[in-house]
Chain A
């Protein structure tokens, strides 16, 4: 089954709404609690990245079957210039406003990698970013 959610850019009051809904769905499906936690942490980091960086917002699509959860987060924001550098703990391009919200510590992508069985990040400057998080049930 597939679920799609819109993510609004810059609206920190709503950041996490999509991830929360996915968490609720996974609970209803009786997915193992450890898999729910790692999946929601990974997709929450991805959702916050869209809110923090992507002008125009993005979409979060969760595709769930008996074997795996695949969450795709796509935005048309500024893109990532150097993905390996962005994967380094502590590297951040977040604004002061984002940092004041408690984010921007340069842990977003590393946290996604830590909590995903498989993580794909494709991006280009001016071309937006696509993150695909796969966790096996």
Chain B
């Protein structure tokens, strides 16, 4: 599933990585615990989280996450946006909950990591 389809399905706002909307995503994962994110071993992962901090971006960099969706209507800070741009992360804000975003993407066929 491509970033452009994911953004449309969730009515999201792409904060960084607008030029890479054709990037394919293979798996979805939802977590607010960053150490859980660091256990993932697959590639092509999208993370849905309500944790809107600089460490979310740093953890995505370490875990080689391609795209992070910040749920629950939270707004990305300038420092988060700057780090996401520097690390090549696609960052999207959505208004809905983590549960709803996960449900929509699962229903549309995005595979879970496990």
A interface residues with partner B (beta carbon < 8 Å): 12-13, 15-16, 19-20, 23, 37, 40-41, 44-45, 48, 101-103, 105-108, 111, 114
Q: Which of B35-79 contact A (CB under 8 A)?
A: 35-36, 38-39, 51, 53-56, 58-59, 61-64, 79
Residues in A neighbouring B58, C-beta threshold 8 A: 15-16, 20, 44
Contact present for A101 and B33 (CB under 8 Å):
no
- State the 3 A-B residue pairs at the shortest beta-carbon distance, nearest first: A107-B35, A16-B58, A102-B34
Once the chains are docked, how many angstroms separate the CA of A103 from the CA of B36? 9
10 A-B pairs besides A20-B58, A103-B33 with CB distance below 8 A are A12-B53, A12-B54, A16-B61, A41-B62, A44-B59, A101-B34, A102-B32, A102-B56, A105-B35, A107-B39
Once the chains are docked, how many angstroms separate the CA of A8 from the CA of B62? 19
Q: Chain A interface mostly helix, strand, loop or mixed?
A: helix
B71 to chain A, nearest CB (A): 14
Contact present for A13 and B54 (CB under 8 Å):
yes
A131 to chain B, nearest CB (A): 16
B86 to chain A, nearest CB (A): 9
Contact present for B39 and A114 (CB under 8 Å):
yes
Once the chains are docked, how many angstroms separate the CA of A48 from the CA of B59? 10
A137 to chain B, nearest CB (A): 18
Residues in A neighbouring B56, C-beta threshold 8 A: 102
